[in-house]
Structure 1
């Protein structure tokens, strides 16, 4: 017995933003319809992060079109799951008094998104 699922995924790796900041924006669009999520990201306060997430959602819609060939207005498509994980950390030294150096950690993020069609009731 084969169960048919309408799920498409897209990922974004190595975004130069800490996972904590990324999760604050991602929480706004979790379980939302795709068009609402794009609107939220357009008018979001954190412009740099929302720009990358917006490109990711557009890529996700493109993946949906390639896989299923039929695309309606996007009303029934929603973000089923979105995960943010920590990527590589760049380690730099900053000079401080008395010849010492303090370490600066520049974190990056990996984002994974799943898109699904809402089931008709």
Structure 2
């Protein structure tokens, strides 16, 4: 009995004679292989290796081919295959000591990326992963907000404590200044009375009390 296998729509893009060794490119391809296209694009944007830019452009080309040929969206595709084969190796020479020369091998490779429509299980897995990522992000945001609120509350308490500590000092300074003003006013009144007594020729209260005390002693 013949078994019919339904192939899912897929598209590919090939980059030939890329100027890097296949081993270096395979390290980048291993990051995106078997992952949804959206996730692969996000992860490639965070990779700092040299071949990451070329692999990203090749993946975008494969996605564009699938969109034109099969009408698939970015969220409907998965990176089914991603591999690099050895290309042409260019032989060059580098001069060394004593007139010798050392061979340089400039390696190249052929990169292939194949994208395919997701299966039902892969769609469910991608949706669940997206939900977990959203929940995790929401938790991080809430934790950050709580931290900021606690920091603001702590700073407000410290400010209020400083104000409460400095309030008695301000009160004591105000009381001392009021007492100084009262003493100054009393001295001014006494000086005014003395000046008035000298002008009229009358004895001041202090002089009269001194004379009365002397008369009592006699």
TM-score normalised over the length of structure 1: 0.90
Say which of 27, 30, 36 aligns to 1:33: 36
Q: How does 1:14-29 map to 2 (within 5 A)?
A: 14-29=17-32
Measured at CA, do residues 45 and 11 of structure 1 come closer, stay the same or move farther in structure 2, by a change above 3 Å? same
Work out the CA distance in 1 between the residues paired with 2:14 and 2:93: 31
Listed one character per residue, the Cα deviations across residues 1-20 of structure 1 (whole Å, up to 9, x for unaligned) are 67343111111111101111
Aligned residues: 118
Partner of 2:72: 71
Listed one character per residue, the Cα deviations across residues 67-118 of structure 1 (whole Å, up to 9, x for unaligned) are 11x333x223101111111111111100011111000001011111111111
**Larger fraction in helix:** 2
Partner of 1:80: 80
Identify which of structures 1 and 2 has the higher relative contact order when contacts are C-alpha pairs closer than 8 Å and 6+ apart: 1
Q: How does 1:37-116 map to 2 (within 5 A)?
A: 37-46=40-49, 48-68=50-70, 70-72=71-73, 74-116=74-116
Measured at CA, do residues 2 and 24 of structure 1 come closer, stay the same or move farther in structure 2, by a change above 3 Å? closer
Structure 2, unpaired ranges of 5+: 122-218
TM-score normalised over the length of structure 2: 0.51
Q: Root-mean-square deviation (CA), in Å? A: 1.4
Partner of 2:118: 118
Work out the CA distance in 2 between the residues paired with 1:103 and 1:36: 41
Shift of 1:28: 0.8
Equivalent pair of 2:72/2:117 in contact (CA under 8 Å): no
Listed one character per residue, the Cα deviations across residues 20-51 of structure 1 (whole Å, up to 9, x for unaligned) are 111111111110111111111111021x3111
Equivalent pair of 2:84/2:111 in contact (CA under 8 Å): yes
**Larger fraction in strand:** 1
Work out the CA distance in 1 between the residues paired with 2:33 and 2:5: 28
Of the two, which has the highest radius of gyration?
Answer: 2
